């Protein structure tokens, strides 16, 4: 999901690259990708934090605080440092310079680039907070909420997010994108995952009726467009918080969880391959696979005269004012499918090979 999400970012007007690919405003391809990105962003990071927290209590109790924290430093801290100070500046940013820029714009001078490692950084913070504040055998008795209870949790989280975002910018803070909108729910989902494990929420969810969960998720998706209807600044911030920080985070998280419980909760022939490779794939995909896939797509568009390289730098130096422009909205969506597929095809086998190097599996 993360790789596909970033593939959509790479070819849409929400580009994650220093040199963006831009397209005509309002074209259907970009609108479709913006809808995909909006749905993803409204829930999937919350769900990742939930399941990260879900596995913490049993691991902490079995290993004890010293081994638990030492393992977290090794498994989270080492990859984060390597990525942020080496793979990020020289791989993620450097590969963009080598693949996309034409002419001399000066090599990017980055000492630290965390990229998707912001999630790893927050996991380290949350794990250390759990070790200090909760400790061994921490087990508050909280039964699995009813659907109405989940709706109340979603409303409280959303209201909190909306109120906080009224007074703080919707920007990155402490390496976290959209910090003020979404961080309260990240904290709640991580520790909520730990509580869910202690109280066997997932086992109880298996017995719940599915239709109300799916109907709530569908209504939440439709509500995504409603925050744009709010006219005042305050109303728009509150609506954004209620939807992104609350309703969608809980409703879609529930729907995705029960869907996978019902339909894909069994091993497949490639389960071992993907299970062993997934952490490395997450760390690797933005170092070079996504850039290579995007460059291949640009070369195809250049060969067919469907993309234009624009340099409005005007001697300023750096990357400002340099971008690729696509007029045809259909090619934006086709480009997303192409870039996503090629990125996946490069990332997973490479990740598996890297993790298979002797000693690397202890970290990855």
11-70 pLDDT, tens digit each: 998 887 777 888 988 889 999 998 899 899 889 999 999 999 999 999 999 999 999 999
Where do the structural domains in the chain lie, given as residue ranges?
A: 139-265
DSSP state of 104: -
- Tell which residue, 299, 306, 286, 304, has the closest CA to residue 350: 286
| Whole-structure pTM value | 0.90
Give CA–CA dist 249/327, Å, rounded: 34
Give CA–CA dist 155/316, Å, rounded: 47
Supply the mean pLDDT for the chain. 87
pLDDT value for 162: 84
DSSP string covering 22-77? EE-TT-HHHHHHHHHHHHHHHHHHHHHHHHHHHTHHHHHHHHHHHHHHHHHIIIII
Confidence of residue 227 (pLDDT cuts 50, 70, 90): low
- Whether 255 contacts 217, CB under 8 Å: yes
Lowest mean pLDDT among 67-81, 96-110, 213-227, 342-356: 96-110
Confidence of residue 105 (pLDDT cuts 50, 70, 90): low
pLDDT value for 238: 80
The pairing of beta strand 21-23 with beta strand 322-326 = parallel
194 pLDDT higher than 70: yes
């Amino acid at each position: 999901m993360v790789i596909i999400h970033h593939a959509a970012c790479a070819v849409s007007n929400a580009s994650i690259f220093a040199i963006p690919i831009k397209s005509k405003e309002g074209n259907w391809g970009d609108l479709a990708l913006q809808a995909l990105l909006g749905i993803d962003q409204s829930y999937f990071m919350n769900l990742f934090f939930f399941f990260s927290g879900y596995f913490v209590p049993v691991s902490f109790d079995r290993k004890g605080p010293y081994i638990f924290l030492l393992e977290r430093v090794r498994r989270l801290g080492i990859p984060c440092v390597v990525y942020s100070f080496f793979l990020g500046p020289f791989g993620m940013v450097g590969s963009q310079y080598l693949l996309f820029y034409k002419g001399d714009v000066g090599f990017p001078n980055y000492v630290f680039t965390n990229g998707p490692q912001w999630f790893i950084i927050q996991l380290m913070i949350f794990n250390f907070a759990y070790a200090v504040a909760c400790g061994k055998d921490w087990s508050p008795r909280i039964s699995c909420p009813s659907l109405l209870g989940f709706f109340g949790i979603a409303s409280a989280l959303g209201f909190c997010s909306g109120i906080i975002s009224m007074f703080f910018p919707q920007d990155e803070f402490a390496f976290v994108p959209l910090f003020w909108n979404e961080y309260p729910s990240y904290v709640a989902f991580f520790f909520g995952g730990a509580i869910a494990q202690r109280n066997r929420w997932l086992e109880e969810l298996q017995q719940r009726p599915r239709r109300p969960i799916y109907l709530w998720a569908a209504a939440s998706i439709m509500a995504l467009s409603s925050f744009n209807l709010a006219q005042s600044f305050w109303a728009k911030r509150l609506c954004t918080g209620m939807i992104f920080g609350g309703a969608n985070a809980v409703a879609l998280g529930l729907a995705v969880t029960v869907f996978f419980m019902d339909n894909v909760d069994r091993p497949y022939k490639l389960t071992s391959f993907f299970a062993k490779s997934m952490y490395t794939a997450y760390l690797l995909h933005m170092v070079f696979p996504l850039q290579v896939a995007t460059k291949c797509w640009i070369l195809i568009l250049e060969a067919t005269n469907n993309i234009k390289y624009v340099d409005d730098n005007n001697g300023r130096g750096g990357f400002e004012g340099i971008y690729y422009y696509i007029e045809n909205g259909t090619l934006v969506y086709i480009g997303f499918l192409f870039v996503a597929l090629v990125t996946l095809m490069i990332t997973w086998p490479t990740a598996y090979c890297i993790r298979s190097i002797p000693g690397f599996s202890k970290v990855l």
